[in-house]
Each structure stands twice: as C-alpha cells, then as structure tokens.
Amino acid sequence: MPRVFSGIQPSGELHLGNYLGAIRSWVRSQHEADAFYCIVDLHALTVETDPAELRARTRQTALELVAAGLDPDACTLFVQSHVPEHPRLTWLLECTASMGELRRMTQFKDKSAGAESVRVGLFTYPVLMAADILLYDTDRVPVGDDQRQHLELARELASRFNARYGTTFVVPEAAVPPVGARVMDLQHPERKMSKSVSSPLGTVLLFDEPADIERKVKKAVTDTDGEVRYDPEAKPGLANLLELLAVATDRAPAAVAAEYHRYGDLKRDVATALCDLLAPARARRNELAGDPGAIDAVLADGAAKAQAIAADVYHRAASAIGLLAPA
C-alpha cells in the first residue's frame, strides 16, 4: 500500500480552502493508502500564538478533522509535538539545506515582508515540513496549491541526502487536486482564502451555519460585465464561484459556466451545493463535541503508531549521516 502523509496547522477554524484543497483528498486516501495525518503544532509556533489557545485549537482541529470524515480506524491522526523525531530530523536536514534555498520560499517572503523582527522558526519552517514528510517514507502528499514549493524543497532535500549519504529517504510526490487547489477569498478574489487573514465575509468556515454560507456567497465580489464564463484571469471572483460549484458537484468549471446566464442564479446554487456538501460534517461535529475525551484517546493512539515508524526512519538517517548510536 502506498504511504500518504499530510499536515495542517492548528491556527484557526478549518475553512473551505482547507477542505477542498486537502482534507477531501485525505478522506479519500485513508481507504486506499496507509495514511498519516498530522496536526502541526510546532509549525504554529512560527508566529505569535496564545499558549492556552494553541492547546485548545490543537484538540479542536483533531475533532474537526474527524467530523470532516477522517476515520481514526482507517488512518493515523496525531499531533506533531507528540513525536520528538520531527524536530530531531529537522536538525539533520537543516545541516544539509542552504540559506539561499530557504530564502527563495515565497511563503517566507510573504509572511516576513515588512516585519520588524522575523523568527528563525519562520525561516526554517519548510525544513520542519520536509522532516514531517520524510520521517514516514511517504510516497504521496495531498496538499493545496500553496504548498507546492515546500514539497519541491522536501524532494530536493531527500534526493540530496540520498546522493551524499546513501539511499535513506523515499522521495515524495505532491498530490494537488485538479480543481479546488486554490480557493480564493470571496471578498478579495485575488488572494487565497486563509485562516490567518481576517476576512470574515470572505472566508467560508467548514462549520458555518447554512444561513452564514448563504450570506457570504450572496455577498461574494464578482464583476460588472454580467456575462457568466470561466475566465480566472479576467473574472477571478466569478471563476472562484464556478470552481466551488464544479468541485462540490464533481464537474468542470467551464461546463458549469455553460449552464448559467445570471450571477444571482449561480450564487444561489453555489450556496445550496456548499450547504449540502458541509452538512454531514456539521452534524458529526455536534455529536463528537459531547465526548471530548475520545479525541485525546485517538491522538494518543495515533502518536504511538506514528512514533514506531518515525523512530526507525530517524535512526536510519542519523546512522547514515555519521552519528554514533548510543550503546
């Protein structure tokens, strides 16, 4: 069975971009692959976080992922900081990565632009991400479009390590969905939907009430020419709506466009399709919220399973690079 690994930061409520870009593929992959999904709390520390809030969000993210369709009997769900091999392998990889290649990461450039002080962790963030992936002999990494460059770096670090120290790591492939890999903000369709940018009307949360979804879609920014066609360059707001309906109903955006003449009709159907798509997750979340202890047990079990693999791979890498094993 192929091995699948992916991760998500516990830095806010899950939104439609997370779901369509990544989590939907995770749910599918858990039945076809040996799947590991990680809540990357160490990555969340690269920006300012409130300690109590981070702890609560970590548990809440686990619960929301299960509500969204992850089955703890079918996949391994765990918290990154519960498996100490992640920061341990990061160090080995940091000693093979160069400052130049990390400086080229566009997400680092965006997040650090204009900041008075930039955390070292924000700079080395992609190396921790590479360690996450390489620790599990991962074949496939289902992610949204914004993680492509980080995946390229993970592949490069794995290949370089293998070439220098002998075959140690599996070189992973990114798996980016054909539609839904870059869900845009409904109010600012030139930028991606995101939990860190505060745009409450532009961000559809996975657990929004149907009335909120309807309101947000109705107010979505489009354009004034009034013609329904799929043209992401010239009509980014409309293209985003067409993509949402396409992905929610498993069709191509251009085929969806051909069925509409009026923006209002399209928006009505987008809202209905999103409400239908997200209804099962909302119902499951309400059930799970009644038993918070159950999620801790899932995470404890997940960490034990993850660590059994990660420890092996870490020791393989440590030995290859020349660290003396403890007697």
| Helix pair angle (292-321, 85-94), 10° resolution | 30
Concerning whether 109 is annotated as a catalytic residue, the answer is: no
Distance in Å, CB of 35 to ligand TYM, minimum: 12
189 binds ligand TYM (CB under 6 A): no
Report residue 274 as tokens: 């999103």
Q: Which one of 111, 216, 235, 267 is the catalytic residue?
A: 111
Q: Measured from the CB of residue 186, what is the shortest distance to ligand TYM in angstroms?
A: 11
25 contributes a contact to ligand TYM by CB under 6 A:
no
Choose the binding region for ligand TYM from 189-197, 245-253, 290-298, 307-315 (rule: CB under 6 A).
Answer: 189-197
Query: Both tokens of residue 144?
Result: 């949204």
Minimum Å gap between C-beta 261 and ligand TYM is 28
From the list 65, 20, 15, the residue with the least C-alpha distance to 204 is: 15
- Give φ, ψ of 188 to 5 degrees: -130, 75
Q: Site size for ligand TYM, by CB under 6 A?
A: 26
Q: Tell me whether residue 22 or residue 63 sits nearer to ligand TYM (CB atom).
A: 22
Residue 43 lies near ligand TYM (rule: CB under 6 A): yes
The DSSP symbol for 209 reads -
If one asks whether residue 35 binds ligand TYM (CB under 6 A), the answer comes out as no
CA–centroid distance for 95 within its chain? 26
From 7-15, 223-231, 267-275, 290-298, give the range in contact with ligand TYM by CB under 6 A: 7-15
Q: Is 193 in the site for ligand TYM (CB under 6 A)?
A: yes
**Nearest distance from C-beta of residue 123 to ligand TYM, angstroms:** 14
Residue 182 found at the interface with ligand TYM (CB under 6 A): yes
CA distance 233 to 8: 29
195: annotated active-site residue? yes
What Å distances lie between residue 72 and 35, 68, 76, 244, 303, CA to CA? 10, 12, 6, 28, 12
CB atoms within 10 A of CB 142: 24
* Phi/psi-derived region of residue 104, left when phi > 0, alpha when psi is between -120 and 50, beta in every other case: alpha
User: 109, 195, 235, 305: which one is catalytic?
Assistant: 195
| Among candidate residues 139, 142, 129, the one with its CA nearest the CA of residue 22 | 142
- Report the half-sphere exposure of 120 (CA within 13 A, side-chain side): 1
Segment contacting ligand TYM by CB under 6 A, of 3-11, 70-78, 208-216, 270-278: 3-11
Catalytic one of 192, 216, 235, 267: 192
Closest to 47 (Cα-Cα) out of 77, 21, 11, 90: 11
Residue 40: CB minimum distance to ligand TYM, A? 4
Q: Give the pairing type, strands 76-79 and 34-39.
A: parallel
Q: What is the rounded CA–CA span in Å between residue 283 and residue 306?
A: 29
Report the distance separating Cα 177 and Cα 69, nearest Å.
18
Per CB under 6 A, 237 contacts ligand TYM = no
Nearest residue to 10 via CA among 40, 51, 47: 40
Task: Based on the residue annotation, tell me whether 111 is a catalytic residue of this protein.
Answer: yes
Binding flags for ligand TYM, 132-171, as an x/- string (CB under 6 A): xx-------x-xx-xx------------------------
CB of 192 to ligand TYM, least distance (A): 4
Residues in the site for ligand TYM, rule: CB under 6 A? 5-9, 17-18, 20-22, 40, 43, 129, 132-133, 141, 143-144, 146-147, 181-183, 192-194
Catalytic residues: 111, 192, 195
